[in-house]
Amino acid sequence: MEAIILKFDIFFSICQTPVDGSVPSERQMFLNFFDQLELADELGFGTAWVAETHLSCQIQKGNPGAVVPDFQGEIGLNTDILQVAHKAMARTRRIHLGSAIRNIICNGGPIAHAEAIRTFLTLHGLEENQDRELHIGFASGRFPFSNSAYGITPRNAVEQAVWPILKGRIFQEATEIFLRLMKGETLSSDQITHRGRIRPSDFRNLSDWDRVIQAAGADIDVVEIPSFYDFHTVGVIPFEAPLEHLTLTVGTADPVVHDLANQIMPVRVFNLSITPPKDLENLHERMRRIYHKDGGDWQRSYMPRTVLCFINDDPGASIEENRDRAKATAQRAAENYWRAIEGTLDPMKVSKATENALLGTPQDVLEQIQERFHPEDRLMLWFDFNNHDSSDVMRAMKVFMEKVAPNV
């Protein structure tokens, strides 16, 4: 088989949820993270992608319409990659830092995020011989409660009826504001493309328009929604932020956002390892056509792909025992996760999670990589999934980079 060369990144969830009855303190969760990050740096992982979460999942469970009512603990503890990155880069030598994924809707919205990132880049650029990058993965957030606290929520019955479409349009506007300000433009809300006109054809199911008609109290064929963004001309500072240390990656499957973003700046895209191969190749082909010219030619490695990794190499166990232990760990982790997120155990989702994970002995994992991935892919390996045993996580990281990575 032809040798392949992939790029290996690592993903950290910092997820504080019960695992086998254990829930580490917030302090211990962060200490574990920094221990694992320092090892990742020593082992040669390219970028450490850190999950970013906003507002307590536990507290939101007491509100009407709680989105994860059965989840115990916090889905993630990192609320700001910029603060984490300053400390992380001071404790490491080579590894880049990235957000997976920063919500540009909450915490002041796209203007505030553009200014905060430009400030980080300015301070980062003061360091001599500093060539490490900040990878900002951005999106609109996974859970509505993170945004509604900042006013991004339906303002009336009509907006409630069109919200499945409108929330995507809001992110499109936010993306334009964020990127144009990141690029260094000055602009007002009058200068962005307003996307509040919504028609029946925007819905997958035309019958959904009946709810819009009911909310409007009239037989209409279009609604005009005022923008959520209204501001006079602004310019974010520092104006001289060194953008050469910044890489942007968007976390959405919306092709409109991909196109829009790359009309402004080079913006890459996240993808999951479970994406069907045909869909993945179509996306790569699209990105080759639309990727902003300032970023050069599109590369497959510009699309980080998240993949769970359960690797076992106990020298005192047989190959079959190591294989069985890795499979059992993966099964238990997937079951705990889906039960926590949805309150029930979905065998199909558990099956998909384990089937698409890298699991088994080092040789098993090597063969799975060779079978599933292109030589130029970038894998974002997730070792801490449903695992608070930091020594075990670090052992798996080390086994992978010492016994798998050198052979691919």
If you search the block for the tokens 């890795």, which residue do you land on?
326
Lowest mean pLDDT among 129-138, 169-178, 280-289, 374-383: 129-138
Integer Rg of the chain from CA: 22
Q: What's the pLDDT score for residue 342?
A: 65
- Comparing 351 with 38, the larger pLDDT belongs to 38
Confidence band for 344, pLDDT divided at 50, 70 and 90: low
227, 194 contact by CB (below 8 A): yes
Q: Which CATH class is domain 7-146+259-407?
A: alpha beta
3-state SS record for the chain: CCCCCCEEEEEECCCECCECCECCCHHHHHHHHHHHHHHHHHHCCCEEEECCCCCCHHHHCCCCCCCCCCCCCECCCCCCHHHHHHHHHHHCCCCEEEEEEEECCCCCHHHHHHHHHHHHHHHHCCCCCCCCCEEEEEECCCCHHHHHCCCCCCCCHHHHHHHHHHHHHHHHHHHHHHHHHHHCCCECHHHCCCCCEECHHHCCCHHHHHHHHHHHCCCCCCEECCCCCCCCCECCCCCCCCHHHEEEEECCCCHHHHHHHHCCCCEEECEECCCCHHHHHHHHHHHHHHCCHHHCCCCHHHCEEEEEEEECCCCCCCHHHHHHHHHHHHHHHHHHHHHHHHCCCCHHHHHHHHHCCEEECHHHHHHHHHHHCCCCCEEEEECCCCCCCHHHHHHHHHHHHHHHHHHC
Which tokens sit at 91?
A: 């404790």
Residue 86: CB atoms within 10 Å: 14
Amino acid in the structure at residue 334: A
pLDDT over 90, % of the chain: 82
364, 323 contact by CB (below 8 A): yes
- pLDDT over 50 (residue 1): no
What residue segments make up the domains of the chain, in order of their start?
A: 7-146+259-407
Q: What's the pLDDT score for residue 347?
A: 61
123, 47 contact by CB (below 8 A): no
Which tokens sit at 242?
A: 């060194």
49, 11 contact by CB (below 8 A): yes
Which tokens sit at 164?
A: 């499945």
- Residues 150, 155, 159, 161, Cα dihedral to 10°: 100
pLDDT digits (tens, 9 = 90+) for 377-408: 999 999 999 999 999 999 999 999 999 999 98
147, 228 contact by CB (below 8 A): no
- pLDDT over 60 (residue 2): no
- Using CA atoms, how far residue 192 sits from 147, 174, 244, 262, in Å, is 21, 9, 25, 15
- Using CA atoms, how far residue 186 sits from 90, 189, 263, in Å, is 33, 10, 17
Which tokens sit at 167?
A: 């929330």
Q: What's the pLDDT score for residue 351?
A: 61
Alpha carbons within 13 A on the beta-carbon side of 92: 29
Work out the average pLDDT over 217-222. Answer: 94
| Bridge pairing between strands 378-382 and 267-269 | unpaired
- Residue 30 CA to residue 36 CA, distance in Å, equals 10
Work out the average pLDDT over 72-100. Answer: 96
- pLDDT over 90 (residue 107): yes
Which tokens sit at 379?
A: 């894998």
Residues 298-326 as b or e (16 or more Cβ within 10 Å = b): bbbbbbbbbbbbbbbbeeeeeeeebbebb
pLDDT over 70, % of the chain: 95
Strand partners, 22: 19
257, 175 contact by CB (below 8 A): yes
Lowest mean pLDDT among 52-66, 83-97, 393-407: 52-66
pLDDT digits (tens, 9 = 90+) for 91-100: 999 999 999 9
